[in-house]
């Protein structure tokens, strides 16, 4: 029913303080009614009221006398008129949003753009808050400016339920329910006056020093903890700021304070925040290039600690501020506010592994390994820790950094400044850094640059980084920045040696951008440096240089050992990097490699600063790892030119004759530490043992030492590895089982290679790569004889066969493993042969290489992992127990019945979990997959030929993927499976085609069976389909296909192994 304007009840009420009208917008707006309907929610929030309408508790239901409202004379003509009891009031629709709220103020424009916050983004919530801040809230000196002739004196007698505000100078009458809100505005400075302490004590409240909120004393501790450690989303009161200061006027910190601020940054930027960080990083880099001012470089160094600081603690009550929000503040220019936050909420660095914290090193190593930082996890286990922060450490640091004078710039021929061409692959240089590279003084990590560079932008990070590097290597950056950008964080490591006084090893961690520039410059001058330094200096631009020195020296000794006056002198330069003369470095660069001079002069023309927790040290002599031209040809000139260069021979350093035995003993210490890791997480312990603790631990000795001399020490080390494996996994392996464990993963083993077996291959490959003739080595003949005894006669090698084409260690070791696998296969039973063929198939052992991360659901519980190893190595798991789900069946010792038992639901659960993993990868590729698609209505409507249906797979044709898990050791084809790998999967594929091809053809689908054996061997069609899926996903994620294939097979394999182990464990009593 239509209602006339006269019939609309009066919804306007008078303000009890200023006689203003608490007006709502009219409900009928004539021809504009459709538009008002679409923004009805906004109308409910845009209630133009005096601030005291909110604070004094009055509502539209308060019955107050009606006071006519007079329009402002400055207001434009009205577009809408509201009639109420023969009174016409114009409602302006064109008034600017920043109008003063008085009783005569017209309504703001409703069809104009909404007012915005300072960030320029328009949203209903932010617009309303800004509107309330600018127009509704009074300032400190202006509470409610009401003309005296329109004021109405109100007393407590007229409003007995209200009381006067106790703040001096404030005469407002406040309802009891609004006391807290009103006094909070006084405490936050929106209203003038100070909250009396007597009133706070009476109400049992206190004022929070951080957010100025009134909080009950009973919540004192909990509120301060949340308010200090977690920055929640800004409340509406914090956004109601009347006066906004210009952030550009706030002073910036100094370079010194930026570099000295402690705290660590996050290792990885979350995916949802990478775009925001890439934008601000690109902007900061471009500002540094275009402005090239001290402020621009200061902001670049400030950025990581302002937006990437790691939170102090984790947990529900300590949620960090999203990086994207901090980046938004940075883009607004709120540099000082972000820096103040970083200074007050910085996160402490990692735990110092001193002697008092040895027990925590094991747990720290486990955490690092679960993040994929394997080398750092092993360093944590074997490191003696950081030197304590005391006077002794400080004195040793100062003594290792002597004083000096700045070098004089040498004269060099006028050459064009080095320049990275546009096609220079700076992304490859970034990836050449180790994965766990530490951050410099600014907190910027190489991983941050990699993750930001992967974001597509209008100004790509790689292109901007190339320009920054060009400025650095040409020496065009202001010299005032060099002291800080060329400096680094100083770390003092304990250097404990028996029968030696306490000492430290200083490590300087330079800035990430400086190290990037140095690497780029080295890659450009690599060829020229090699031509100049070789053959006396083989440490730069020479692949395998250390091995060439050893093999060449051994050949020289073999040739001249009978001469009476022949001797070999091995020297060590005392504190060489910290004492080499910088003047000599610059002179050598100017003379031999002038391209290095601008960069070297910029880095070492001033005195870079090194920051330690105990203080700041000025690096005045020596160099960081980088240009090494100054010590070229040092062997030829050490006696006459060494002391002037600051290089003195360290005579006190002794070298043990039993070097190999000593190294073997040191490597065994890590194995002892891994046993403690195995008690916490055996999956992590095995991964560290394979990647860092077994063969790879002493491979450098195997490549440089003849096997005839070290075979006994290597055999002892193999025994230590086997003992460590048994302690870590509680799996006792027999001789045959240990032979399988020593095979590589792709041959069905655990990758714990035998050092004594593979040392001949390592030595032969290293000797041949040095360029020496096989006839010149005294030990090469014995090494070839030992190698030929370990391989098939057809794969044996002689002096003549290796003379022309050097063989790699990978090729030689592969032939040794082939022979080991063949010996193991021929001595195995029919069942063991079928098992070996299945686990040695492609991608079957991918689950053993995953990073055991619980967050990524790639982790096995200790009980599951122990069962998985026994099941994988064919070690008895159960003995003489009956199946609880089918009592008539007796469980076999190896758990094969548990994997095929139809009772208990384990078979269906395993199938569904694998199906869900494949479905998840299809979703990531945006293929629009659908689960469990059947044939529709009909007599056979319960049939579902598609576990996962992909609507557009090949040339627009839908594909029905039917997942099936078949037993490798099924009795019907066991004999054939022991001779042909993947036979069980092939038979299952044929059965799937016979059952589903006809149904899929009727629906226009392509039937693709995804068949996998219980031991991880995939069918041929499944391998082709997964390879195609990985290719599409790699294109979408902009990553290498091999990496995506590994991720796909490792997750599928781990899901399969976890389900198999749980099926076995569920049947154990």
Q: Taking the mean position of all CA atoms in its chain, how far away is CA 56? A: 51
Residue 313, number of CB atoms within 10 A of its CB: 11
The pLDDT value given to residue 639: 43
The stretch 933-944 carries a mean pLDDT of 53
* pLDDT at res. 108: 36
What is the reported pLDDT for 404? 83
Cα→Cα distances 903→862, 900, 944, Å: 26, 9, 22
* Range in 126-130, 212-216, 342-346, 958-962 the model is least confident about: 126-130
Task: At 838, list the tokens.
Answer: 């299945």
pLDDT, position 159: 53
Reduced to 3 states (helix: H, G, I; strand: E, B; else coil), residue 265 is strand
| Of residues 458, 456, 451, 462, the one with CA closest to residue 427 | 462
The angle at the Cα of 528, spanning 526 to 531, to the nearest 5 degrees, equals 110
User: How do residues 872-884 score in pLDDT, each as one tens digit?
Assistant: 999 988 777 788 8
Tokens of 575: 């504190």
Residue 473 has pLDDT above 70, yes or no: yes
pLDDT of residue 346: 55
Q: Kindly tell me if the per-residue pLDDT of 280 is higher than 90.
A: yes
**Any bridge partners for residue 22, and if so which?**
13
Of the pLDDT bands very low, low, confident and very high (cuts 50, 70, 90), residue 68 is very low
User: Looking at the predicted structure, is the pLDDT value of residue 87 above 90?
Assistant: no
pLDDT of residue 658: 64
pLDDT of residue 890: 80
pLDDT of 432 above 60 = yes
Q: Is pLDDT at 288 greater than 60 in this prediction?
A: yes
Q: Looking at residue 789, what is its pLDDT? A: 93
CA distances for 131 relative to 23, 185, 191, 236, 443, angstroms: 16, 17, 18, 12, 39
**Tokens encoding 791:** 């391989």
How would you write 136-174 as a 3-class SS string? HCCECCECCCCCHHHCCCCCCCCCCCCEECCCCCCCCEE
pLDDT of residue 962: 92
Q: How confident is the model at residue 235 (pLDDT cuts 50, 70, 90)?
A: very low
Cβ(702)–Cβ(547) under 8 Å? no
pLDDT of residue 1060: 94
| pLDDT greater than 50 at residue 482 | yes
The region of weakest confidence among 267-281, 305-319, 396-410 is 305-319
584: pLDDT strictly greater than 70: yes
Cα–Cα distance, 393 to 399 (Å, whole number): 10
Binned at pLDDT 50, 70 and 90, residue 149 comes out as very low
pLDDT on residue 148: 40
Distance CA 372, CA 369 (A): 5
Quick one: pLDDT at residue 560?
80
Quote the pLDDT of residue 6. 42
pLDDT score of 883: 84
Q: Is 72 exposed, middle or buried (0-12, 13-18, 19+ CB in 10 A)?
A: middle
Is the predicted pLDDT of residue 80 greater than 70, yes or no?
A: no
Of 16-25, 906-915, 941-950, the one with minimum mean pLDDT is: 16-25
pLDDT of 667 above 60: yes
C-alpha to C-alpha distance for 335 and 345, rounded to whole angstroms:
15
Token representation of residue 451: 């993750």
Q: Does the structure show a pLDDT above 70 at 276?
A: yes
- Report pTM: 0.71
**Confidence (pLDDT) at 881:** 77
Least confident of 151-155, 787-791, 981-985, 988-992: 151-155
What is the 3-state secondary structure of 302-318? HHHHHHCECCCCCCCCC
Q: What is the mean pLDDT of the chain?
A: 76
Percent of the chain whose predicted confidence (pLDDT) is above 90 = 32
Tens of pLDDT, residues 357-390: 455 788 889 998 998 888 889 888 887 778 888 8
| Residue 724's pLDDT band (cuts 50, 70, 90) | very high
What is the predicted pLDDT for the residue at 21?
40
Helical ranges in 474-618 per DSSP H: 479-485, 512-524, 526-533, 545-560, 576-579, 582-592, 597-604
Confidence of residue 250 (pLDDT cuts 50, 70, 90): low
Report which listed range, 24-38, 227-241, 480-494, is most confident: 480-494
What percent of the chain clears pLDDT 70, i.e. is strictly above it? 74
106-140: b (≥16 Cβ within 10 Å) or e: bbbbbeeebbebeeeeeeeebbbbbbbbbbbbbee
- State yes or no: pLDDT of 663 exceeds 50: yes
Q: How far apart are CA 598 and CA 473, in angstroms?
A: 6
The values of phi and psi at residue 1007, to 5°, are -85, 120
Q: Looking at residue 689, what is its pLDDT?
A: 94
Average of per-residue pLDDT across 394-423: 81
Predicted local confidence at residue 313, as pLDDT: 64
Give dist(CA 371, CA 905) in Å, integer. 34
- In this prediction, residue 72 has a pLDDT band, given cuts at 50, 70 and 90, of very low
Its sign, for the CA torsion 404, 410, 415, 416, is positive
**Poorest-confidence range of 354-363, 548-557, 765-774?**
354-363
C-alpha to C-alpha distance for 155 and 163, rounded to whole angstroms: 9
Mean pLDDT score, 1047-1056: 95
Whether the per-residue pLDDT at 585 is higher than 90: the answer is: no
Confidence bin at 303 (pLDDT 50/70/90): very high
The pLDDT-based confidence of 991 (bands split at 50, 70, 90) is very high
Of the pLDDT bands very low, low, confident and very high (cuts 50, 70, 90), residue 347 is very low
pLDDT in tens, 450-466: 999 988 887 889 999 99
1038 token code pair: 């902009």
Range in 534-548, 675-689, 957-971, 1035-1049 the model is least confident about: 534-548
In this predicted structure, the answer to whether residue 415 has a pLDDT above a threshold of 90 is no
Whether 726 has a pLDDT exceeding 60, the answer reads yes
Report whether pLDDT(742) > 90: yes
What are the angstrom distances between the C-alpha of 368 and each of 255, 362, 851, 936? 32, 10, 10, 51
Beta-sheet strands, E only, within 883-945: 930-933
- The 3-state DSSP class for residue 616 equals strand
Tell me what the mean pLDDT of segment 82-106 comes to.
Answer: 36
pLDDT in tens, 158-190: 555 677 888 887 877 777 777 777 888 787 766
């Amino acid at each position: 029913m239509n209602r006339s304007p006269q019939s609309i009840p009066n919804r306007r009420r008078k303000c009890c303080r200023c006689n203003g009208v608490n007006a709502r917008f009219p409900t009928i707006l004539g021809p504009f009614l459709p538009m008002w309907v679409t923004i009805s929610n906004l109308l409910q929030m845009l209630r133009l009221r005096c601030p005291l309408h909110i604070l004094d508790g009055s509502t539209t239901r308060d019955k107050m006398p009606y006071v006519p409202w007079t329009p402002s004379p400055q207001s434009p003509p009205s577009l809408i008129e509201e009639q109420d009891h023969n009174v016409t009031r114009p409602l302006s629709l064109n008034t600017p949003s920043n109008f003063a709220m008085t009783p005569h103020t017209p309504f703001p424009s409703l069809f104009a753009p909404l007012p915005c916050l300072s960030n320029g983004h328009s949203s209903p919530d932010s617009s309303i808050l800004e509107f309330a801040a600018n127009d509704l809230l009074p300032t400190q000196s202006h509470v409610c400016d009401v003309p005296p002739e329109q004021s109405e004196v109100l007393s407590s007698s007229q409003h007995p339920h209200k009381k006067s505000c106790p703040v001096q100078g404030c005469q407002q009458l406040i309802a009891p329910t609004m006391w807290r809100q009103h006094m909070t505005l006084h405490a936050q400075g929106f209203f003038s006056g100070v909250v009396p302490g007597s009133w706070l004590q009476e109400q049992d409240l206190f004022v929070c020093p951080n957010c100025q909120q009134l909080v009950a004393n009973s919540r004192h501790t909990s509120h301060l903890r949340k308010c200090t450690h977690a920055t929640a989303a800004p409340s509406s009161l914090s956004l109601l700021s009347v006066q906004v200061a210009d952030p550009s006027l706030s002073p910036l910190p100094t370079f010194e304070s930026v570099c000295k601020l402690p705290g660590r940054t996050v290792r990885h930027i979350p995916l949802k925040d990478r775009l925001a960080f890439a934008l601000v990083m690109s902007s900061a880099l471009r500002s540094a290039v275009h402005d090239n001012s001290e402020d621009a470089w200061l902001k670049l160094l400030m950025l990581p600690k302002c937006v990437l600081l790691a939170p102090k603690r984790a947990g529900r009550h300590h949620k960090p501020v999203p990086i994207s929000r901090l980046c938004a503040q940075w883009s607004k220019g709120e540099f000082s506010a972000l820096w103040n936050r970083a200074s007050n909420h910085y996160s402490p660095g990692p735990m110092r592994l001193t002697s008092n914290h040895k027990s925590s090193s094991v747990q720290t190593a486990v955490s690092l390994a679960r993040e994929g930082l394997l080398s750092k996890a092993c360093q944590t286990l074997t490191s003696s820790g950081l030197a304590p922060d005391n006077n002794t450490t400080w004195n040793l640091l100062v003594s290792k950094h002597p004083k000096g004078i700045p070098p004089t710039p040498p004269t060099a021929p006028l050459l064009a400044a080095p320049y990275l061409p546009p096609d220079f692959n700076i992304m490859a240089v970034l990836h050449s850094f180790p994965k766990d590279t530490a951050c410099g003084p600014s907190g910027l990590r190489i991983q941050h640059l990699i993750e930001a560079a992967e974001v597509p932008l209008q100004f790509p990070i790689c292109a901007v980084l190339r320009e920054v590097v060009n400025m650095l290597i040409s020496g065009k950056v202001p010299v005032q920045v060099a002291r800080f950008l060329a400096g680094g964080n100083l770390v003092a490591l304990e250097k404990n040696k028996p029968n030696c006084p306490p000492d430290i090893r200083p490590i300087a961690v330079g800035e990430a951008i400086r190290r990037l520039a140095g690497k780029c410059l080295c890659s450009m001058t690599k060829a020229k440096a090699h031509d100049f330094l070789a053959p006396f200096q083989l440490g730069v631009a020479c692949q395998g240089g250390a091995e060439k020195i050893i093999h060449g020296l051994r050949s020289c000794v073999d040739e001249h050992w009978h001469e009476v006056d022949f001797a070999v002198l091995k020297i060590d330069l005392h504190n060489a990097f910290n004492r080499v003369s910088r003047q000599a470095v610059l002179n050598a660069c100017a003379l031999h490699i002038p391209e290095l001079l601008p960069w070297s002069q910029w880095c070492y023309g001033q005195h870079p600063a090194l920051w330690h927790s105990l203080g700041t040290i000025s690096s005045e002599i020596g160099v960081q790892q980088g240009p090494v031209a100054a010590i070229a040809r040092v062997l030829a000139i050490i006696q006459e030119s060494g002391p002037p260069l600051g290089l003195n021979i360290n005579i006190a350093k002794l070298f043990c004759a039993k070097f190999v035995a000593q190294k073997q003993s040191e490597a065994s210490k890590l194995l002892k530490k891994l046993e403690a890791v195995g008690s916490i997480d055996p999956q992590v312990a095995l991964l560290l043992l394979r990647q860092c603790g077994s063969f790879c631990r002493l491979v450098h000795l195997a490549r440089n030492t003849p096997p005839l001399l070290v075979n006994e020490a290597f055999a002892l080390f193999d025994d230590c590895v086997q003992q460590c494996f048994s302690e870590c996994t509680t799996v006792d392996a027999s001789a045959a089982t240990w032979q399988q464990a020593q095979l590589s993963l792709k041959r069905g083993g655990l990758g714990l290679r035998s050092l004594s077996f593979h040392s001949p291959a390592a030595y032969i490959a290293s000797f041949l790569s040095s360029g020496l003739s096989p006839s010149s080595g005294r030990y090469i003949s014995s090494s070839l004889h030992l190698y030929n005894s370990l391989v098939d006669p057809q794969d044996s090698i002689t002096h003549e066969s290796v003379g022309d084409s050097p063989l790699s260690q990978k090729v030689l070791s592969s032939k040794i493993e082939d022979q080991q696998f063949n010996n193991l296969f021929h001595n195995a039973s029919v069942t063991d042969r079928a098992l070996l063929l299945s686990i040695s198939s492609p991608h079957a052992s991918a689950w053993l290489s995953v990073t055991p991360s619980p967050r990524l659901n790639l982790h096995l519980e200790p009980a599951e992992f122990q069962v998985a190893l026994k099941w994988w190595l064919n070690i008895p798991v159960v003995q003489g127990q009956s199946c609880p789900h089918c009592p008539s069946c007796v469980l076999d010792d190896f758990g094969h019945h548990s994997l095929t038992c139809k009772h208990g639901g384990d078979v269906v659960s395993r199938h569904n979990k694998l199906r869900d993993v494949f479905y998840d990868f299809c979703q990531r590729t945006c293929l629009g997959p659908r689960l469990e698609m059947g044939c529709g209505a009909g007599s056979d409507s319960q049939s579902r030929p598609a576990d996962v249906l992909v609507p557009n797979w090949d040339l627009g044709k839908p594909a029905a993927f039917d997942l099936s898990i078949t037993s490798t050791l099924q009795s019907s084809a066991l004999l054939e499976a022991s001779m042909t790998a993947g036979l069980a999967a092939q038979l299952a594929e044929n059965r799937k085609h016979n059952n589903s091809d006809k149904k899929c053809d009727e629906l226009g689908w392509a039937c693709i069976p995804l068949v996998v054996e219980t031991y991880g061997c995939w069918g041929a069609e499944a391998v082709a389909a997964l390879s195609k899926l990985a290719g599409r996903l790699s294109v979408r994620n902009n990553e290498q296909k091999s990496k995506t294939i590994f991720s796909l097979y490792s997750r599928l394999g781990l899901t399969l192994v976890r389900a198999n182990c749980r099926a076995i464990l569920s049947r154990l009593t």
